[in-house]
Amino acid sequence: MQKIVVVGAGSMAEALISGILEKKLIDRNNVWVTNNSNKERLTELQDRYGIQATYDLPTLFEGAEMVMLAMKPKDAGNAIESIREHLNKEMLIVSVLAGVSMKTIELLADKPLSIARSMPNTSAAVGKSATAIAVNERVTKSQVETAKILFESVGLAAFVEEEQLDAVTGLSGSGPAYIYYLIEAMEESAAEIGLEQQMAQQLIIQTLIGAAEMVKNSIKSPEQLRREVTSPGGTTEAGIRVLEEHGVQQAFVSCIKAATAQSKKLGEALSSKLTVGKH
């Protein structure tokens, strides 16, 4: 890859920059970043990663092979309109803008573009994101591979149809928060049964990591793995019975459905707002 331009300098942009450089996908001199006006933040990223930063748009986009849209979704309208004369269909436009459709991006740019729209999650910061990617018909096989390599630098990457991205948002985009919520509950219970906080947290974290690895590496289903731990009349059975009495499993199902519906609702509202007055 010759040159990547990142428009936006928030936490997701930094996570992706870090992953790209960690995997040595491109020389750091060929990674360029800009934002709306926070020069201090650009200087911070320059110093931390040895990348290039500028507000001079002709210099920024000259020779760019990939342009990553990583600003806040609400700022996408002004941002894309301000750079659209520098965008062209030979570039791969990679969007991490939640709720902003590929059609909306093209309307804002006022031209056809090769777009890969993605939904990573915040675990990209530690190289463990679960990222879904949708591409439009102008993206070439080579660009598909480039997008795959990019997001595999910060975790797992899978391709989906664009209409599935709301479901992905509800499941894995918001998913880390559900796990943190579970950890909060386990930490609270640990305190109530008399375990020291630091030790309890270590036990909880390792338990979650171990269970995830078991599901990942075993040919058995999660249900089968659960049943094997749940001896009749044992401690696990007593705990699971309480979870079932409180409808915890169904609550998680409802939680993910609600997040998916909200993603769709917010996306439609945002796209409508961004394209007011457009074609």
Per-residue confidence band for 278, with pLDDT thresholds at 50, 70 and 90: low
Q: What does the domain layout of the chain look like in residue ranges?
A: 4-162, 173-263
Helix, strand, or coil (residue 94): strand
Its CATH class, for the domain covering 4-162, is alpha beta
Which pLDDT does position 81 carry in this prediction? 94
Whether the CA torsion 76, 77, 79, 80 is positive or negative: it is positive
Range 40-55 average pLDDT: 96
Which pLDDT does position 70 carry in this prediction? 96
Range 179-198 average pLDDT: 97
- Put residue 99 in one of left, alpha, beta given phi > 0 → left and psi -120 to 50 → alpha: left
Q: What pLDDT digit, counting tens, does each position of 163-188 carry?
A: 999 999 999 999 999 999 999 999 99
Can you point out the beta strands (E) in the chain?
Answer: 4-7, 31-34, 52-53, 66-69, 92-95, 114-119, 129-135, 155-159
Which pLDDT does position 41 carry in this prediction? 97
How many Å apart are CA 259 and CA 270, to the nearest integer? 16
Q: What pLDDT digit, counting tens, does each position of 207-250 carry?
A: 999 999 999 999 999 999 999 999 999 999 999 999 999 999 99
Per-residue confidence band for 271, with pLDDT thresholds at 50, 70 and 90: confident
pTM given for the model: 0.89
Whether the CA torsion 134, 139, 144, 148 is positive or negative: it is negative
Per-residue confidence band for 265, with pLDDT thresholds at 50, 70 and 90: very high
Q: Which tokens hold the place of 278?
A: 């457009």
Q: What is the CATH number of domain 173-263?
A: 1.10.3730.10
Range 139-145 average pLDDT: 97
Per-residue confidence band for 28, with pLDDT thresholds at 50, 70 and 90: very high
Range 103-132 average pLDDT: 94
Which pLDDT does position 184 carry in this prediction? 97
How many Å apart are CA 226 and CA 145, to the nearest integer? 37
pLDDT at 1 over 80: no
Mean pLDDT of the chain: 95
Which pLDDT does position 275 carry in this prediction? 80
Q: What pLDDT digit, counting tens, does each position of 52-73 carry?
A: 999 999 999 999 999 999 999 9
Taking residue 212's Cβ as centre, other Cβ atoms within 10 Å add up to 11
CATH topology identical between 4-162 and 173-263: no
Which pLDDT does position 277 carry in this prediction? 61
DSSP 85: G
Which pLDDT does position 191 carry in this prediction? 97
